[in-house]
Chains A and B, each alone.
Chain A
């Protein structure tokens, strides 16, 4: 066997092994939420609540998803409105009764990174 190729094989094999051992430790991420309305852990007046999520980068609204988790743990999809700005997602939740809610979002950034998060908030009666 050619010695040079033997070295390459040894190094490639070790690299593959090292990457596999480290596999569980990689974490990815890109788009992060900069501002939200309702604010995280904030309280708003119901029953209709406009929702705005502003990110640090442009997000692809057509391939992103926003859901609302209700006090009874049921989850509904929130339809997204046309983007006012490329870094912002907007929607509106209607008919909310007082209680604890969570906005669950998942966004796609132009580079293909998928990120997600949760914004907990409370609704009080008007």
Chain B
């Protein structure tokens, strides 16, 4: 049970993200087949067969995610509040979870003979799946305006499924259907549905934000508000991509090979960013709404003071000024018989306030990392110019980062601290850092080989944008303060733009590599991602904790 409690918070966010993603793709597929490819002419076997395969697997994924979520939550609840299994099964989340499992299995096992002609009865389990999500949302828990909020949440989920969830099926259409006329009709019908969905998504999101965020001060002063802001920025990126697709569909259309390929490539990125927004949403559902956190918000003045441009900290504080690691403190506290305070959530760790030495150490680490990333972006930008082709070695800057991390990440261990080189591997944190160093070295050499054409595989070139986008997602979903601890909030204010720049850089590079040569956007995208890196470097160099 102790082990389960330790990873409970992480598991729940992960499972919620999986539930929302599978739900979006499953419901999106059923909406696509029911209302976009809405008759037998628009549903040739080359579309329905792979589409149903995708829907069925999403159903299995959703059922499994819900089952694991139910089991984990029940185990933790049973272990911490002495509740019987029978009583647990009566809880709201358990009833909703069971309904979702049954409904998703019903879709997964939907009879094959009903798939081609698509009996609309299949929308019943889809509605039940959406309903089970709505009754476990913030809206359902509210005391005031519950009915309106439940309605807005339902519309929000429905529009997300119609648009983001429908995109994989649009891509299937473009890739699998050979008849041009059908491809064009489906893409035009989807374009109309997407426009309506975008409008509904925006209006429902706006309505919910007015209640759950409630004020400008909560938008920039609370973790919930910042995540809503992030969703808005990513939503704007999606709109840009959607607009690009709109002009392809309405202009030369999906008829030309180049237009059709561009549509698919933009669609890939829309799906990627769309799923990122869903992950951000999973993170949001685990946050108390900003409107409820009225005390200890971060003010604009505090933000301005904290992030006013300052010289980066490039000199290290004395090692003696640093506090021991939290785990070390926890162990010592337990040995001394001191009671460790209960965490707000099962799984939170015991922590201590940072000393000026700790803060200086953290700023110093961020500044150096920022400097390396800044020069990496600059070299990547220069490498596009024929006079600076040598700058293609920019990935080797990662080696500098690896050396820095190896030498400086763990002050208690070799070469800085008393713990020897081999002894330091017993600490899980240190092991993680050393593994990260190894990964960075491998990645630096790999990407250098890609940039200098030593490795010519297209798949290999896509690893870098993939890592950027995933890194952004991890940064976006990690470390949210449950209550308004000002220091954590101020840190988060710098990490969120880093995440957004990472995501934009990754997908810009993806498009640059994947779009057909004839598409002019490629030359602009080639500038976007190095500039994002330069900004990441500047933000890291200006990172301050006091």
List the interface of chain A (C-beta within 8 A of B): 3, 6-7, 10-11, 14-15, 17-19, 21-32, 34, 56-58, 60, 62-65, 73, 85-87, 104, 106, 108-118
Contacts and interface: CB of A to CB of B under 8 A. Distances in A.
A interface: dominant SS: mixed
Given A25-B478, A63-B83, A11 B346 contact: no
Interface stretch (B197-205, B248-256, B287-295, B532-540): B287-295
Contact of A27 (B82, B141, B458, B479): B479
Contacts of B136: 110-112
Interface stretch (B69-77, B298-306, B402-410): B69-77
A116 B344 contact: yes
Given A3-B459, A114-B80, A118-B342, A28 B143 contact: no
Contact of B93 (A29, A64, A112, A116): A112
A56 B288 contact: yes
A3 B92 CA distance: 44
16 contacts: A18-B471, A18-B474, A21-B474, A23-B7, A26-B9, A26-B479, A27-B348, A28-B286, A60-B92, A62-B90, A63-B77, A63-B91, A87-B143, A111-B92, A113-B286, A116-B342
Contact of B345 (A15, A17, A18, A114): A114
B345 A29 contact: yes
Contacts of A111: 92-93, 136-138, 140-141, 285
Contacts of A65: 80-82
A112 B91 contact: yes
Contacts of A73: 339
Interface string B86-109: 011011111001000000000000
Contacts of B478: 22, 25-26
B12 interface: yes
Contacts of A25: 10, 478-479
Interface of B: 7-10, 12-14, 69, 73, 76-77, 80-83, 87-88, 90-94, 97, 135-138, 140-143, 285-289, 292-293, 339, 341-349, 432, 436, 439, 457-459, 462-463, 466-467, 470-471, 473-474, 477-483
A29 B289 CA distance: 10
Contacts of B479: 25-27
- State the 5 A-B residue pairs at the shortest beta-carbon distance, nearest first: A112-B93, A29-B482, A57-B141, A56-B292, A26-B10
Contacts of A15: 470, 473
Contacts of A10: 459, 462-463, 466
Contacts of B480: 27
A10 to B, nearest CB: 6
A118 to B, nearest CB: 6
Nearest to B467: A14
A76 to B, nearest CB: 14
A18 to B, nearest CB: 5
Contacts of A56: 288-289, 292
B91 A108 contact: yes
Contact of B87 (A28, A58, A63, A112): A63
Contacts of A23: 7, 10
B27 to A, nearest CB: 19
A93 B143 CA distance: 27
Given A10-B463, A26-B13, A112-B136, A32 B76 contact: no
Given A22-B474, A31-B288, A57-B141, 18 more contacts: A6-B459, A7-B459, A10-B466, A18-B473, A19-B474, A21-B432, A21-B436, A22-B10, A26-B14, A27-B345, A27-B480, A30-B141, A32-B292, A60-B91, A65-B80, A115-B344, A115-B345, A117-B342
Contacts of A3: 457-459
A17 B87 CA distance: 37
Contacts of B288: 29-32, 56
Contacts of B13: 26, 28
Contacts of B140: 110-111
Contact of A28 (B8, B339, B349, B470): B8
B80 A106 contact: yes
Contact of B346 (A34, A63, A116): A116
Given A110-B141, A116-B345, A27 B77 contact: no
B474 A109 contact: no
Contacts of B481: 27
Contacts of B342: 104, 116-118
A118 B138 contact: no
A23 B462 CA distance: 25
A11 B286 contact: no
Nearest to A21: B432
A7 B135 CA distance: 37
B93 A28 contact: no
Contact of B477 (A21, A22, A114, A115): A22
Contacts of B343: 116
A112 to B, nearest CB: 3
A104 B342 CA distance: 9
B9 A27 contact: yes
